[in-house]
Amino acid sequence: MLRAALGSAAGLVGAAIVEQTAIGQSGNNGSAGHDAKTAGMTMDMSTSDHGTNMLMGQVNHAKNGFDPLQMLVDWDYGTVSTLPDERTLREYEIVAFDREIEIAPGVFFNAWTYNGRVPGPSLRCTEGDLVRIHFVNAGSHPHTMHFHGFHNAEMDGIPGVGAGNIAPGQEITYEFEAAPYGCHLYHCHVIPLKRHLHKGLYGAFIIDPKHGRPPAREFMMLMNGFDTDLDGDNNVYACNTVGFEYARRPIPIKAGELVRIYLINLTEFDPINSMHLHATFFDYYDHGTTLTPTHHTVDTIMQCQAQRGILEFTHRWPGKYMFHAHQAEFTELGWMGMFNVATEMGFQAALAEVGLDEEWDRKSMSGSTVPYVNNPLRLLMPAH
C-alpha cells in the first residue's frame, strides 16, 4: 500500500515540477503563499489550481538568509591559525537568536537558530585540530552547544555541568580537539530537549580524516521536520529545512562521478527518518567513522534522531532522479528532492537552471579540509 501511494505521488510530483519550472522562470512567485498555508502541506495533485499546490511558488531565500542549494556545500572552516605546537586552530563565532523562517512557500515557522539559519553552519575541520567556539546566546531562552565527539565534561554543553545553561545575554567558549573523524553534529541540550532541538538549534559537524577521503562531489544533507501548530507532530518534513526545495530546483551532478553525502537526522517527534535513492545504490559509512563502508550496495538507509552517516554513489545515466524518505507521509509533506544528472556538456545548463554558478561547483568538489592521500595502509589505521 505504501509503495503504491508513494509511486503515484511521485509521478504527479514529477509532472508538477515541470509546470513549476516554467512558472518560476516567468517570475510568478508571489501569489501561492496564503493559499498554500491554508492548504497545509497536503499535495493535492488532482487540481491544476496553482494556489492549492504546494509545489507552486518559491520560498524567499534572500529573506530567509539561507538557500538550501548553497547549504549543501557551504562548509564553515572557521578562522584558521597555527598553534605553537603546530596544531591547527579553528575558531568559530556562533550566535543563537530567534527568527521566523519560511519552510515551504507561504509556510512560516518561529525558529530558534544558530547564526540565523536552520540548520546552523556546517562546521568542518580535520581530525586533531583544536576547535574553539565562541558561543553567544542572543535568544529568548537559555541554550547551549553540545557536540558529538570526544571532549571533557566541561565542554559537553549540558545543563548543570561546566558552564551549564547559557542564559540569554551570556556567552561561553567551548574548546576541544576534533575527534574521531566522521559525520557528526551539534545541537542545543537545554530541557525540554525535544522543543529546543525541534526549534532549529542543530547543525552538521564534519571531521575529515587526516588523510582525507577520495575526491568526490560532496553535499551536506540534514533531515528535519517542523511542528508548525505545536501539537507535537510535524506538519512539514524536509532535507535542509525547506520542503520540496530540491524538487523545485534539482541538484546538479554529473553522470559517472562519485557523489558523497553527509547525511544527518534531526527530525523530532518521529523515531525514524530515512533516505532512499532512485535508480542507483550506495555504499554507507555508519557515523562516518570508518574508511571502508559498513553497508555495501544499499538503496535505503534509516536513521534514528542524531544518527548519521556517509553515502557514496554514482549515477550512470543523465536524467532526473528522485531521492526521498521512504516513509510516504514524510515524502508527501516535503521530504523529497531530485538530482539532475547531467553530461559534462550539459552541466553548465543544469547549474544555471537552478541559479547556481561555477563557485558552487568548485565548493561541491573541494569540501575536504585536507587533500586525499592514497595510502593503502590508511585503511588499517583506527579512527581515533
All cell numbers assigned to 331? 515524502
Q: Which stretch binds Cu ion (CB under 5 A): 13-21, 27-35, 136-144, 175-183?
A: 136-144
- Residues 292/378, Cβ–Cβ less than 8 Å: no
Kindly give, in sequence order, each residue whose CB lies less than 8 Å from that of residue 245, ignoring residues fewer than 6 positions away: 59, 68, 69, 238, 337
Among the listed residues 50, 61, 90, 143, the single contact to Cu ion using CB under 5 A: 143
How many residues contact Cu ion, by CB under 5 A? 5
The residue nearest Cu ion at its CB is 188
What backbone torsions phi and psi does residue 211 show, to the nearest 5 degrees? -105, 15
The smaller minimum CB distance to Cu ion, of residues 9 and 306, is found at: 306
* 222 lines the binding site for Cu ion (CB under 5 A): no
Task: Tell me the closest approach of the beta carbon of residue 96 to Cu ion, in angstroms.
Answer: 7
CB of 194 to Cu ion, least distance (A): 11
Residues 152-191 close enough to bind Cu ion by CB under 5 A: 188, 190
Q: 253-312: which residues touch Cu ion (CB under 5 A)?
A: 306
Between 307 and 331, CB nearer to Cu ion: 307
Q: Does 151 bind Cu ion (CB under 5 A)?
A: no
Using CB under 5 A as the binding rule, whether residue 196 contacts Cu ion is answered as yes
* Nearest distance, CB of residue 145 and Cu ion, angstroms: 9
Residue 179 Cβ vs Cu ion, minimum distance, rounded to whole Å: 17
CB of 143 to Cu ion, least distance (A): 3
Dihedral pair phi/psi, residue 253, rounded to 5°: -140, 175
Q: Which stretch binds Cu ion (CB under 5 A): 20-28, 42-50, 193-201, 222-230?
A: 193-201
Helix (H, G, I), strand (E, B) or coil at 310: strand
CB of 307 to Cu ion, least distance (A): 10
Bridge-based pairing of strands 107-114 and 88-104 is: antiparallel
Select from 119-127, 128-136, 141-149, 215-223 the region that touches Cu ion (CB under 5 A): 141-149
Min separation Cβ 148 and Cu ion, Å: 6
Those residues with Cβ within 8 angstroms of residue 134's Cβ, 6 or more apart along the chain or in another chain: 91, 92, 93, 94, 171, 173
Q: Which is nearer to Cu ion, 272 or 306 (CB)?
A: 306
Angle, CA of 235, 240 and 244, to the nearest 5° = 60
Q: Which is nearer to Cu ion, 96 or 336 (CB)?
A: 96
In angstroms, what is the minimal distance from the CB of 81 to Cu ion? 29
| Residue whose C-alpha is closest to residue 13's, from 45, 52, 51, 57 | 45
Q: How far apart, in Å, are the Cα atoms of 366 and each of 218, 259, 342, 361, 363?
A: 8, 12, 19, 9, 5
Residue 188 vs 310, nearer CB to Cu ion? 188
- Locus of grid cell 532541538: 197
Closer residue to Cu ion (CB): 306 or 365: 306
Taking the least distance from each CB to Cu ion, the nearer of 196 and 260 is 196
Distances (CA, A) of 17 to 22, 47, 54, 322: 9, 14, 11, 12
How many Å apart are CA 56 and CA 20, to the nearest integer? 6
Q: Which of 120, 60, 80, 339 is nearest to 219 (CA)?
A: 339
Binding mask 305-344 for Cu ion (x = CB under 5 A): -x--------------------------------------
Nearer to Cu ion by Cβ, of 61 and 143: the residue is 143
Distances (CA, A) of 65 to 39, 70, 113, 182, 336: 25, 11, 11, 28, 22
DSSP letters along 315-368, please? --SSEEEEEE-SSHHHHHTT-EEEEEEE-TTTHHHHHHHTT--HHHHHHHH---
For residue 119, is the peptide bond before it cis, meaning its omega torsion is within 30 degrees of 0?
Answer: yes
Q: Decide whether 302 or 306 has the Cβ nearer to Cu ion.
A: 306
CB-nearer residue toward Cu ion: 196 or 248: 196
Binding site for Cu ion (CB under 5 A): 143, 188, 190, 196, 306
